[in-house]
Amino acid sequence: MAEVRFHQVSKAYPPLRGGDRPVEVLQRLDLAVADGEFLVLVGPSGCGKSTLLRLLAGLESPSGGEIYVGDRPVSRLRPAERDVAMVFQSYALYPHLSVADNISFGLRRSRPRTATEQLLDSLHRATRPWPAPLRIRSDREAAIERRVAEVATTLELDGLLERRPKELSGGQKQRVALGRAIARKPAVFLMDEPLSNLDAKLRTGTRAQIVELQRRLGTTTLYVTHDQVEAMTMGHRIAVLNGGRLQQLGTPLELYQWPANLFVAQFIGSPPMNLIPVTVASPGQLLLEGRRLLVEGPMAEALGGRQGQALTGGLRPEHLKLAPATNRNLAAEVSHVEALGNEQLVTCRLLEGSHLVLVRATPDQSVTVGQSVHLEIDPSGWRLFEGEGVALPRPKRPLEKGKPLELPQIQGDLQV
Ligand code: ADP
Ligand code: MG
């Protein structure tokens, strides 16, 4: 078990053929993953997610900064010395080895052996099929066999130990890859889009299995995915990466509800947040093409002193709903409908400003393309972003009247 810390880590790859500039992937990245945490890493393709894991695994070395596993700086250690295990999207199993040997591969590599030990280990393996009295026993090999059996039981691979990878289904291969990672009881698991080669149904099952396994083992885990559902459901926290920089780090709900900038607002959540240009009319009111729109909740306060400022207003699709025609609701025309069974995603064009917005509707509402509708905005749903795309700070909740200020309890003598 260990905390993982990236301290000011940069990575530049040498210039690609024909180019003269190095490819800068990560820039002075700071990121701390707590001991036992399941951290999900997301970001657009090419933003450096795999590079980040490979740096920690020791498959690449940083151009600057340091990576710590627990208190140990690891960037100069060989991969085998780092106490981390990686699971790849492509499984990366050894095709010529059995499932059992794939799982135990890391165990056999973990410590150099003397020539005598090597001989004994080989004899143990060679005489294993023989009758018990004739077998030659190596304690090390016996311990490895026990560990492989434990791992196989955990991952339901018991009946498959003698098979080769080509005799396995995709899901079974992925479990063997997981088995190889957990066999060594590493301090850190690294998983790089491990489910993206599985079909949708198998993915759901394996997703639950990985979460369960991580919870049971309590091993610090960095998990890369581009799947929204995996990102929202698997981890304790999500780190969003873009352009070599960390955009936001927080719980899935924090990121969904309070994105720190427009990039996160658009990246987290499917379908993404609706964005429309607005102007501040007064605290509590925005203007959209001359129409006054109400803002309630913490964002209403954040508008204080910003009269006349142009902002980007964000609304999640669930903060808009089809509603009766009133002079408060926005008139719009339906331009596209996706009926998903449990809900409908309705794309509407606002009459004010012609902006397109996505609205969640219940499956029983009848909506057709070209229909005129009215949209009601949840006034507490507004999220607001300034010119550079940075979210307006959320005012701190004022202390409730009459409630004493809660301070952390300090026990024992305070030593200064
Ligand atoms: P992600 O996993 O987020 O899709 P990667 O970490 O694989 O992104 O890659 C980040 C960037 O680094 C990409 O632009 C990629 O082309 C580049 N890159 C990755 N590996 C190398 C390499 N060995 N040499 C040069 N450029 C590389
Ligand atoms: Mg990748």
SS (H, E, C) 211-223: HHHHHHHCCEEEE
- Give me the amino acid identity at 112: P
CA distance 256 to 266: 10
- Give me the amino acid identity at 104: S
Residue 290 within a domain: yes
Provide the domain limits for residue 377: 271-385
CA of 224 to the centre of ligand 2 (A): 8
Tokens of residue 247, six digits? 């955009």
Residue 295 within a domain: yes
CA of 60, closest atom in ligand 1: 23
Task: For residues 141-145, give the mean pLDDT.
Answer: 87
CA of 54, closest atom in ligand 1: 6
- Give me the amino acid identity at 378: D
pLDDT over 70 at 398, yes or no:
no
pLDDT of residue 91: 85
CA distance 273 to 268: 8
Q: Would you tell me the crossing angle of helices 170-183 and 139-154 to the nearest 10 degrees?
A: 130
- Do residues 383 and 275 touch, judged by C-beta distance below 8 A? no
CA of 52 to the centre of ligand 1 (A): 10
Residue 19 within a domain: no
CA of 166 to the centre of ligand 2 (A): 24
pLDDT over 50 at 411, yes or no:
no
Residue 339 within a domain: yes
Q: How far is CA 229 from CA 210, 211, 226, 235, in A?
A: 14, 13, 9, 11
Q: Which range among 99-113, 241-255, 311-325, 333-347 shows the weakest confidence by mean pLDDT?
A: 99-113
CA of 247 to the centre of ligand 1 (A): 18
3-state secondary structure (DSSP) of residue 4: strand
Tokens of residue 252, six digits? 């899935």
Q: What is the mean pLDDT of the chain?
A: 90
CA distance 69 to 87: 18
Number of domains in the chain: 1
pLDDT of residue 73: 96
CATH number at residue 339: 2.40.50.140
Q: Are strands 274-282 and 383-385 parallel, antiparallel or unpaired?
A: unpaired
284 band by pLDDT with thresholds 50, 70 and 90: very high
Report the number of secondary-structure helices (H) and strands (E) in the chain.
10, 20
Task: For residues 66-80, give the mean pLDDT.
Answer: 94
CA of 51, closest atom in ligand 1: 6
pLDDT over 80 at 401, yes or no:
no
H or E element that contains 158: none
Q: Whose CA is nearest to atom 14 of ligand 1?
A: 46
pLDDT in tens, 371-396: 999 999 999 999 999 988 999 988 77
pLDDT of residue 386: 95
Tokens of residue 254, six digits? 């924090």
pLDDT of residue 131: 86
Tokens of residue 296, six digits? 């309630």
pLDDT over 70 at 33, yes or no:
yes
Q: Whose CA is nearest to atom 16 of ligand 1?
A: 46
DSSP state of 340: -
- Do residues 391 and 259 touch, judged by C-beta distance below 8 A? yes
Q: Are strands 356-361 and 372-377 parallel, antiparallel or unpaired?
A: unpaired
Which ligand has its closest atom nearest to the C-alpha of 51? Answer: 1
397 band by pLDDT with thresholds 50, 70 and 90: low
Side-chain half-sphere of 43: how many Cα atoms within 13 Å? Answer: 24
Pocket test for ligand 1, best of 13, 53, 191 (most atoms within 8 A of CB): 13
Per the omega criterion (within 30 degrees of 0), is the bond before 194 cis?
no
Q: Whose CA is nearest to atom 15 of ligand 1?
A: 46
Give all strands (DSSP E) within 232-273, no chain letters: 237-242, 245-250
Side-chain half-sphere of 91: how many Cα atoms within 13 Å? Answer: 21
Pocket test for ligand 1, best of 6, 25, 47 (most atoms within 8 A of CB): 25
Residue 373 within a domain: yes
**Taking CB atoms and a 6 Å cutoff, what residues make up the pocket around ligand 1?**
13, 23, 25, 43, 45-51
CA distance 74 to 188: 13
pLDDT of residue 199: 85
CA of 214 to the centre of ligand 1 (A): 27
CA of 16, closest atom in ligand 1: 25
pLDDT of residue 32: 97
CA of 49, closest atom in ligand 1: 3
Reported pTM: 0.87
The dihedrals phi and psi of 16, each to the nearest 5 degrees, come to -70, 165
407 band by pLDDT with thresholds 50, 70 and 90: very low
CA of 295 to the centre of ligand 2 (A): 40
DSSP state of 37: -
CA of 142 to the centre of ligand 2 (A): 37
CA of 77 to the centre of ligand 2 (A): 23
CA of 233 to the centre of ligand 2 (A): 20
pLDDT of residue 412: 38
Q: Whose CA is nearest to atom 7 of ligand 1?
A: 50
Task: For residues 202-218, give the mean pLDDT.
Answer: 91
CA of 192 to the centre of ligand 1 (A): 13
The answer for 104, left when phi > 0, alpha when psi is -120 to 50, beta otherwise, is alpha
How many C-beta atoms surround the C-beta of residue 405 within 10 A? 5
Sequence-ordered list of residues with C-beta below 8 angstroms from that of 214, at least 6 positions apart, any chain: 38, 189, 221
Q: Whose CA is nearest to atom 5 of ligand 1?
A: 48
- Do residues 370 and 381 touch, judged by C-beta distance below 8 A? no
Residue 345 within a domain: yes
pLDDT of residue 125: 85
Give all strands (DSSP E) within 265-413, no chain letters: 274-282, 285-288, 291-294, 310-315, 320-323, 330-339, 344-350, 356-361, 372-377, 383-385
Task: For residues 268-293, give the mean pLDDT.
Answer: 93
Strand partners, 237: 39
Residue 51 within a domain: no
Which ligand has its closest atom nearest to the C-alpha of 41? Answer: 1
Residue 293 within a domain: yes
Q: Whose CA is nearest to atom 21 of ligand 1?
A: 13
Place of tokens 């098979």: 163
